[in-house]
Structure 1
Amino acid sequence: MLGEKMEEAKEAGLLAILNIATRNERNKIILLQFGVLSSIVELLQSQSTRLRELATAGILTLSSPDSNKPLILASGAPSLLVEVIISGNIQGQVDAVTAMYNLSTCQQGFDARICLKSAFHLLALLKDCKKLSKFAEKATTLLDLLSTSQEGRDAITESEGSILTLVETVEDGSPLAAEYATSILLNICKSCRDKYRELILNEGPIPSLLLLTVHGTDRAQGLAHTLLQLLRDNSKQNRVSTEELQCMVYKIVSHVDGPEKALETAGNILKDVTGRDPVVGIVEMN
């Protein structure tokens, strides 16, 4: 009975903190100055699923001001958030990923390797979420940071279905999610082209990457171009003819831009990828 009352009191305290902090940046900073962080971090280790979920929401709420981020990073909260990503309920996982994303923007003290244990779970969440969502952008941001180290790339590629999930994000994601997913694929391919080139190609990324070279963010365009170069088969035996490439690109682009605008867009893509001006060939083909 006493235990239940204690848990109810802790829940009430966490709800009060959330109410005070929600949509008020000044209150978020003041709450940390009053020392509430240590109590919330302690509740992140609670045996109660409800308390862990509320504590995760508390860290998420308090992690938005830049001045709070170094304090949260130093508190031990990130490793506990990773445990929530691994074993929490769906709301807890989403809040934990978002909190980690907020913390990842801090230049002081964030180490992406802390997410190594959660790579499989991040990919599973990315697979199941709407690729156009803000959550997909946050998950791919963390995975992109992970992919800059060999340990991170290993954790990603050892997760079943990871390449397909990333290719689907390039295809269906928002401009930012597509950018980060392309960056991850590029980091993986650059780390060992002989090992990963075919694995990536088998998931059919070429149409989406071609479109990204024109319609993506500035960074995504460069990343997509570089990845396409790595994925090209330079052997004479398997080289696609110029005419076949023109036909393929035109068909892809025409579904997005329409037949008239597709001529110009497809020409720009092919010129960028091959270094040659193929517009005449496309017009004749059409």
Structure 2
Amino acid sequence: MVREDLFITIPSFFKCPISLEVMKSPVSLCTGVTYDRSSIQAWLDNGNNTCPATMQVLQSKDFVPNLTLHRLIRSWSDSVPPLTPSNGSSSLSRDQVRSLIRDIPTSGDGRFDSLSKILDFAKSSDENRKFLANINDFVSVIVGILCNGDLSAKIRELEQIVIILDLILMEKNDLKQQIWQLISNRIHSCLPSISLILRKGSTESKIASARFLEAISFDSEAKRAIIEKQRLFEELVALISSEAEETAIEAALTSIISLTNSRLVKTKVIKLGTVKTLTKLLTNSALRVSAVEKALKLLEILSTCTEGRTAITEDLNCVASIVQRLMKVSSSATESAVVVLWSVCYLIRDERAQETVTKNNGLAKVLLLLQTNCSPIVRQLCGDLMKVFRVNSKSCLSSYETKTTHIMPY
């Protein structure tokens, strides 16, 4: 059985967002996202204080066993054949792995087989991934292959490499700086490989590629290089508009958010029809919390420029879907939603947007938010929104008084 077939047949919500493998012991963080216990424990043990999927700062590092999901996974596992690697590579010794790594630069036609065995070794356990991350020159060797060669002949190898890099980056976050140093002088040679994978690769390799782009985009020079490669950016945006699984959509959204740091980029994102795509995502009631948060965060970013506000007000389904999500997801999602509504209803006073908010019971939600323990910025933005609707409303809201002052969210 081909490994790609196995990857497709596994229900997406059975897979850990970190390891992309079926969870053995699913546990949920305070953000509501579920991970395999060993993967999230390793993440936290490495000194991280954020949720890997949402990048929210964790108020608590405690996690709770997701017993319902555990029972579902067990029931599903009992109904399918065991998923064992066909080449038996997970049983490789560390000495054998070292030997495979030494042979990578000269293995020629056998390189794909060597990389496949190393990849299966990496997927087997957290300890194996840490072992690979600490081998001298391993990362530099595979990054070198990513930045060089005949793309048409190497796509399978490139897929293996970017997945391996994604796995070991999860185990050793400080590798980002090392990888950036390796590609800083030849990033333009690296990006065609990533673009090719985003176009023609498997779902698993597309997820890894999107995460890799996010990992190297902490530097302004890297962001500029990525953004300038038009085809790559288009493929990244296209990934959220496809029927891809949620893990792929989230990875693409995270990467786009990390890159969207200027008006020029925002305009480029908007021209690619991203607002309509995000609206479609928000209307999907089955979309998990972390994906909704990222979709709303990107809309918040886009709403800070004129082109973004225009695109949002021209698609009133977008405004309606934002109102529907208000107070139903998380505090961070609510804040993003309120910023967008403030931008179109208060800042530019778009009457169509105001009317859409009113028709979708948005006034009651805004008023309720003012009476909850929301953040100061949400309270002030809601106060501004109430000023707008108090003027136009003939209901009891017209007598509602607010002491909030005019602010800009950025």
Establish whether TM, by shorter chain, passes 0.5. yes
Residue-by-residue CA offset, 1:130-189 (whole Å, 9 max, x unaligned): 4x7122112111111222223421331232x22211222333343222222222222222
Q: Is residue 281–residue 292 contact of structure 2 (8 Å, CA) maintained in 1?
A: yes
Amino acid at match of 1:75: L
Residue number in structure 2 paired with 1:22: 123
Identity of counterpart residues, as a percentage? 16
Map 1:167-246 → 2, pairs under 5 A: 167-172=279-284, 173-192=287-306, 195-203=307-315, 204-232=317-345, 238=351, 246=358
> 2:206–2:248: 8 Å Cα contact kept in structure 1?
no
Amino acid in the other structure paired with 1:73: W
What secondary structure, in the 3-state scheme, does the structure 1 residue paired with 2:268 have?
helix
Q: Which of 129, 141, 152 is equivalent to 1:39?
A: 141
- Aligned-partner residue type, residue 313 of structure 2: L
Quick one: which of 121, 129, 133 aligns to 2:243? Answer: 129
Q: Is the 8 A contact 1:84 1:96 kept in 2?
A: no
Alignment match, 2:253: 140
Partners of 1:30 and 1:60 lie apart in 2 by 14
User: Where does structure 1 lack aligned partners over 5 or more consecutive residues?
Assistant: 254-262
CA shift, 1:265, in A, is 5.7
Displacement of 1:71: 2.1
Residue 119, structure 1, aligned to residue 245, structure 2: no
- The answer to which of 106-115 and 40-49 deviates more is 106-115
Secondary structure in structure 1 of the residue aligned to 2:149: coil
Once the two structures are superposed, residues 8-31 of structure 1 have per-residue CA deviations (whole angstroms, 9 ceiling, x without a partner) of 321222123213222433333332
Partner of 1:259: none
Deviation, 1:41, is 1.7
* Residues 43-95 of structure 1: CA deviation (Å, up to 9, x unaligned): 22332222222222222222212243322232229766643442222313333
> Higher helix proportion, which one?
1
Deviation of the 1:124 alpha carbon? 0.6
**Partners of 2:183 and 2:190 within 8 A in 1:** no
Q: TM-score, normalised by structure 2?
A: 0.53
Aligned position for 1:260: none
Provide the residue aligned with 1:258 in structure 2.
none
Any unmatched runs of 5+ in structure 2?
Answer: 1-105, 372-381, 398-410
CA distance in 1, matches of 2:350, 2:258: 37
Contact 1:85–1:121 under 8 Å retained in 2: no
